[in-house]
Amino acid sequence: MIGLGSIGGVVAGCLRHADRHDIIACARRALDRLTLERPEGTVTVSLRTLTDPAEAAPVDWVLLCTKAHEAASTAPWLARLCGPATRIAVLQNGVDHAARVAPFAAGPSVVPAIVYYNGERLAPDRVRLRHVAEHDLAVPDDAAGREFAALLGGTPLRVLPSPDFTTLMWRKLLINAVANPLTALARQRQAVLRREDMRALCLAVLAEAVAVARAEGASLAADEAERTLATLLTYPPEAGTSMYFDCLAGRPLEIEALTGAIVAAGARHAIPTPLNRALLTLLSAISEAAGASLP
State the catalytic residues: 172
Question: What is the rounded distance in angstroms from the CA atom of residue 12 to the CA atom of residue 43?
Answer: 12
Distances (CA, A) of 227 to 93, 137, 172: 20, 19, 12
Bridge partners, 129 (sequence order):
119
CB 189 within 8 A of CB 198: no
Phi/psi at 142 (5° precision): -135, -175
Query: What's the gap between Cα 201 and its chain centre?
Result: 23
Distances (CA, A) of 208 to 94, 96, 173, 184: 16, 19, 12, 20
Question: What is the rounded distance in angstroms from the CA atom of residue 66 to the CA atom of residue 120?
Answer: 14
Classified as helix, coil or strand, 91 is strand
Long-range contacts of residues 189-193, Cβ cutoff 8 Å, at least 24 apart: 189/237, 189/238, 189/239, 189/240, 189/244, 190/232, 190/235, 190/236, 190/237, 190/238, 190/239, 190/240, 190/241, 191/237, 191/238, 193/232, 193/233
